[in-house]
Amino acid sequence: MTAEMMSRIGEFLIAIIVLLGALLGALSAFGLVRLPDVYMRSHAATKSATLGVLMILAGAFLYFAFYLDHISVKLLLGIVFVFITGPVAGHLNGRAAYRSGVSLWEGSVHDDLKPVLRREREQLQAGKAESGEKIKDV
Amino acid sequence: MINGILIASLIILSLAILACLYRLIKGPSMNDRIMSLDTIGILLLSIIAVLCMLFRTSVYVDIILLIGILTFIGTTALARYIERGDVIDR
């Protein structure tokens, strides 16, 4: 009786976790469609999609551990890998977008990176003119 | 009960992939498309995890790792190509 009840409760909790992860994925796709800018869209797509995948993989791990008697180390490895690489990929993409000149939304009010980048470019130009050798573009 | 919820989350994830396809086709800049492909890869990974639970098997776990690694490598290579014009420095 109690074992059956425990099994029922565990199943319910795992189903809740998986459903919450799927809803987070849908939320990130909604933000990807609705937001007006590359940078805001990357904010929506990177974080909530990663969290949704983490929740679904954690639910799968718990399901395997409780109902199939199988501790899946590969699933743990997948959780760690997605947790590390999701934000890194989002960061690389946003950096490439800014440096290749994708413009901000016209309602944006503040841009901290622009003066820094301009100063860096000026220093690079001056150094190139001074030494005469080819310096790789940062 | 858990089978019904798993099928419902499969449907939700498929609709999310459909929304990402909209951004993939329409997206004004190249980086929108890269980001949309990244999100599609991550959602596909979670679809495969849900399928593992639905079929009560663990043979598809390798595919989760494979899709994760391929998505990351593809996003990194495309972002570097957009930023500086080549993928590998020489």
A40 token code pair: 């805001």
What whole-number distance in Å separates Cα of residue A97 and Cα of residue A11?
43
Task: Tell which residue, B47, B83, B28, has the closest CA to residue A41.
Answer: B28
Q: Is the pLDDT of residue A20 over 70?
A: yes
pLDDT at A24: 93
Output the average pLDDT for chain A: 86
B64 touches chain A (CB under 8 A): yes
What whole-number distance in Å separates Cα of residue A27 and Cα of residue A6?
32
B34 touches chain A (CB under 8 A): yes
**Choosing among B12, B51, B55, B56, which should be mutated to test the A contact, i.e. which has the most A CBs within 10 A?**
B12
Contacts of B29 (CB under 8 A, 6+ apart): A38, A97, A102
Contacts of A80 (CB under 8 A, 6+ apart): none
Q: Hey, are the CB atoms on B19 and A29 less than 8 Å from each other?
A: yes
Task: Please provide the DSSP assignment of A37-67 as one string.
Answer: SHHHHHHHHHHHHHHHHHHHHHHHHHHHHHH
Q: ∠ CA B25-A22-B64 to the nearest 5 degrees?
A: 80
Q: Is the pLDDT of residue B27 over 80?
A: no
Residue from the list B15, B65, B83 with its beta carbon closest to the beta carbon of A96: B83
pLDDT tens column, A84-107 = 998 999 999 888 888 888 888 888
A31 token code pair: 């933000």
pLDDT tens column, A33-60 = 998 888 888 888 888 999 999 999 999 9
Is A75 within 8 Å of A60 (Cβ atoms)? Answer: yes
A134 compared with A65, residue with greater pLDDT: A65
Nearest CA in chain B to A23: B12
Listed by start position, the domains of chain A span 2-107, 108-138
Output the average pLDDT for chain B: 89
Listed by start position, the domains of chain B span 2-84
Q: Is the pLDDT of residue A136 over 60?
A: no
pLDDT at A80: 92
Size of interface A-B (CB pairs under 8 A): 169
Report residue A1's pLDDT band, with 50, 70 and 90 as the boundaries. low
**Choosing among B30, B33, B39, which should be mutated to test the A contact, i.e. which has the most A CBs within 10 A?**
B39
Classify A137 as helix, strand or coil. Answer: coil
Is B5 within 8 Å of A15 (Cβ atoms)? Answer: yes
Contacts of A49 (CB under 8 A, 6+ apart): A24, A25, A28, A29, A86, B39, B42, B43
Q: Hey, are the CB atoms on B31 and A75 less than 8 Å from each other?
A: no
Report residue A7's pLDDT band, with 50, 70 and 90 as the boundaries. confident
Residue A130 to chain B, least CA–CA distance (Å): 24
Q: Inter-axis angle of helices B30-55 and B61-84, to 10 degrees? A: 180
Report residue A18's pLDDT band, with 50, 70 and 90 as the boundaries. very high
- The four Cα atoms A54, A56, A59, A65 give a dihedral, to 10 degrees, of -80
